[in-house]
């Protein structure tokens, strides 16, 4: 009897230790995600200030378009980073590769934070900001893939959706922190000071946390799945395998289009949309953005856990259909009578789209990629979607509103991305498809 009690206690203790160990690993591996998205969000949050400091043209529309173009240029570097750094991570291991991506991300952050304005150094100012964004984009190309694959490989059986959802959940913490900082600065600092240099404060804070993030990531352990593999492909082998699986990569890109478009619409673009299009106060826009970050954080693990229970396909299909049917009508309702309350309701509805869909999508994307090129394949698919859809969402939304004279026009863009996600889901989960075979095996 005593032996059974001791045995039971030991088992419980070991289970608790394993849970704590996995939770610590999740924190370490997602820490770099926090920095990456923190900086990306800041660039979008302070787009109106950045446009006047680095891209003064005399036209608010032109300055914003230039700023969002530079913001989007960082996303064009993601596919290159996905191929080069993704192949590197597949060859040398998840731990070493993720330290490299964090180093590059930190370099871009420090550069953007410290560059003087156009009035001080002329054309060199926007050029250096562009270089900083390109460094961030190159790093981010493999960061998301590396983190997602690491979480997938360390997940307990049957819980991949829940574990991989924390990759995106860490980004929501970055949104919350950035929005809180923005709200505090807007409340405590005079507008002229905020325009002149106050907007740089959050970027400097991002620089200050870099050493702490390095300490966290250096303590990462390599995943057992990678360590157990006898053959680690060279970069050339990774490239060859990706070419052989190009249809899966393209389908993965379309699957991710819904996620990236929704994400950048409800986070990075929200402060600009609320202030310049809906004519709401900066404080209102930042509070809504903060609530969106909290909503995303709640829905992501729920979406992942639900997809573990019912399968990825049903959840992906449900959310894409809902987005197609309601994206434009919801934004039309908001634009008809802009208010804090309406903006909150619409963006929280979109937050549900993002969290539930992405919770299932990330796990699905790690599952469909061949194991030998899992990081490179995931990263390339995600990066292409971000470059072609998500990253340019602020610029596309601004252009559509200006061209169509319709404040709800971003709804067309979101609906199009949802159609892409619907088609990709049907392709990947068709009978005999890679994703369907995985689901059937589970």
Mean pLDDT across the stretch 180-203?
82
Angle at 148 between CA 147 and CA 151, to 5 degrees: 85
- Segment 127-143 shows an average pLDDT of 82
Query: In Å, what is the CA distance from 303 to each residue of 60, 163, 203, 356?
Result: 39, 11, 31, 4
Per-residue pLDDT reduced to its tens digit, 241-253: 777 778 888 999 9
Classify the phi-psi angles of 430: left when phi > 0, otherwise alpha if psi is within -120 to 50, otherwise beta.
beta
Distances 350 to 100, 205, 309 between C-alpha atoms, Å: 34, 29, 23
Which secondary structure element, helix H or strand E, spans residue 140, and what is its range? helix 124-154
Q: Which two tokens mark 399?
A: 């252009």
Torsion of CA 182, 184, 187, 193, to 10 degrees: -60
Q: Give the whole-number percent of the chain exceeding pLDDT 70.
A: 85
Q: What is the pLDDT of residue 354?
A: 93
Q: Is pLDDT above 90 for 96?
A: no
pLDDT at res. 313: 94
pLDDT given for residue 20 in this prediction: 60
Instruction: Report how far apart, in Å, the C-alpha atoms of 166 and of each of 28, 174, 179, 208, 439 are.
Output: 11, 13, 20, 24, 21
Give me the pLDDT at residue 13, please.
42
Q: How far apart are CA 296 and CA 285, in angstroms?
A: 16
Residue 44 pLDDT class (50, 70, 90 cuts): low
3-state helix, strand and coil shares in percent for the chain, rounded to the nearest 5: 85, 0, 15
Query: Does residue 71 have a pLDDT over 50?
Result: yes
The C-alpha atoms of residue 94 and residue 224 are separated, in whole angstroms, by: 11
Within 13 A of 412's CA, how many CA atoms are on the CB side? 12
Q: How many CA atoms lie within 13 A of 95 on its CB side?
A: 15
- Higher-confidence residue of 203 and 5: namely 203
Distance CA 164, CA 32 (A): 15
Report residue 411's pLDDT band, with 50, 70 and 90 as the boundaries. very high
| Per-residue pLDDT at 433 | 57
Residues 6 or more apart in contact with residue 41 via CB below 8 angstroms: 174, 175, 178, 267, 268
Q: Which band of pLDDT confidence, cut at 50, 70 and 90, is reported for residue 432?
A: low
pLDDT at 46 exceeding the cut of 80? no
8-state DSSP, 274: I
Does the pLDDT at position 440 exceed 60? no
CA 21, 82, 128, 172 torsion-angle sign: negative
Summarize pLDDT for 313-344 with one digit per residue, the tens.
999 999 999 999 999 999 999 999 999 999 99
Which of 37-41, 122-126, 379-383, 396-400 is most confident? 396-400
* Residue (of 185, 210, 178) closest to 43 by Cα position: 178
* Tens digit of each residue's pLDDT (9 = 90 or more) over 253-302: 999 999 999 988 988 788 778 888 888 887 888 788 889 889 999 999 99
Hey, what are 43's tokens? 């660039």
Do residues 434 and 245 make contact, with C-beta atoms less than 8 angstroms apart? Answer: no
Element (H, E) at 201: helix 201-208
CATH class of 28-216+233-441: mainly alpha
pLDDT at 406: 93
Tens digits of residue pLDDT in 224-243: 666 666 666 666 766 777 77
Q: Mean pLDDT across the chain, nearest whole number?
A: 80
* HEC secondary structure over 24-89: HHHHHHHHHHHHHHHHHHHHHHCHHHHHHHHCCCCCHHHHHHHHHHHHHHHHHCHHHHHHHHHHHH
């Amino acid at each position: 009897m005593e032996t059974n009690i001791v045995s039971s206690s030991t088992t419980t203790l070991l289970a608790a230790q394993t849970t704590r160990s996995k939770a610590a690993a999740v924190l370490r591996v997602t820490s770099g995600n926090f920095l990456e998205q923190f900086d990306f969000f800041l660039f979008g949050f302070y787009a109106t200030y950045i446009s006047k400091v680095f891209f003064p043209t005399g036209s608010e529309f032109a300055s914003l378009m230039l700023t969002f173009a530079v913001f989007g240029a960082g996303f064009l570097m993601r596919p290159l980073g996905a191929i080069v750094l993704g192949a590197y991570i597949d060859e040398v291991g998840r731990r070493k590769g993720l330290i490299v991506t964090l180093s590059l991300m930190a370099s871009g952050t420090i550069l953007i934070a410290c560059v003087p304005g156009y009035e001080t150094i002329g054309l060199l100012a926007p050029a250096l900001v562009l270089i900083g964004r390109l460094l961030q984009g190159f790093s981010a190309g493999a960061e998301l893939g590396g983190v997602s694959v690491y979480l997938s490989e360390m997940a307990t059986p049957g819980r991949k959706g829940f574990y991989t959802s924390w990759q995106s959940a860490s980004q929501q913490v970055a949104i919350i922190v950035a929005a809180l900082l923005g709200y505090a600065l807007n409340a405590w600092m005079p507008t002229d000071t905020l325009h002149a240099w106050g907007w740089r404060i959050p970027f400097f804070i991002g620089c200050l946390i870099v050493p702490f993030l390095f300490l966290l990531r250096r303590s990462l352990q390599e995943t057992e799945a990678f360590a157990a593999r006898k053959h680690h492909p060279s970069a050339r082998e990774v490239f060859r395998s990706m070419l052989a699986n190009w249809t899966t990569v393209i389908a993965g890109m379309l699957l991710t289009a819904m996620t990236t478009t929704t994400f950048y619409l409800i986070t990075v673009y929200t402060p600009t949309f609320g202030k310049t299009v809906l004519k709401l106060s900066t404080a209102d826009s930042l509070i809504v953005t903060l609530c969106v970050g909290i909503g995303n954080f709640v829905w992501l693990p729920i979406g992942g856990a639900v997809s573990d229970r019912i399968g990825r396909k049903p959840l992906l299909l449900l959310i894409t259909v809902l987005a197609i049917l309601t994206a434009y009508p919801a934004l039309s309702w908001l634009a008809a009578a802009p208010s804090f309350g309406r903006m909150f309701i619409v963006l929280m509805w979109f937050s549900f789209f993002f969290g539930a869909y992405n919770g299932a999508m990330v796990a699905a994307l790690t599952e469909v990629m061949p194991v030998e090129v899992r990081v490179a394949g995931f990263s390339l698919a995600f990066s292409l979607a971000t470059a072609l859809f998500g990253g340019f969402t602020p610029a596309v939304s601004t252009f559509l509103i200006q061209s169509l004279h319709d404040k709800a026009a971003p709804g067309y863009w979101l609906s199009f991305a949802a159609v892409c996600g619907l088609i990709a889901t049907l392709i990947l989960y068709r009978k005999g498809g890679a994703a369907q075979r995985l689901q059937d095996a589970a």
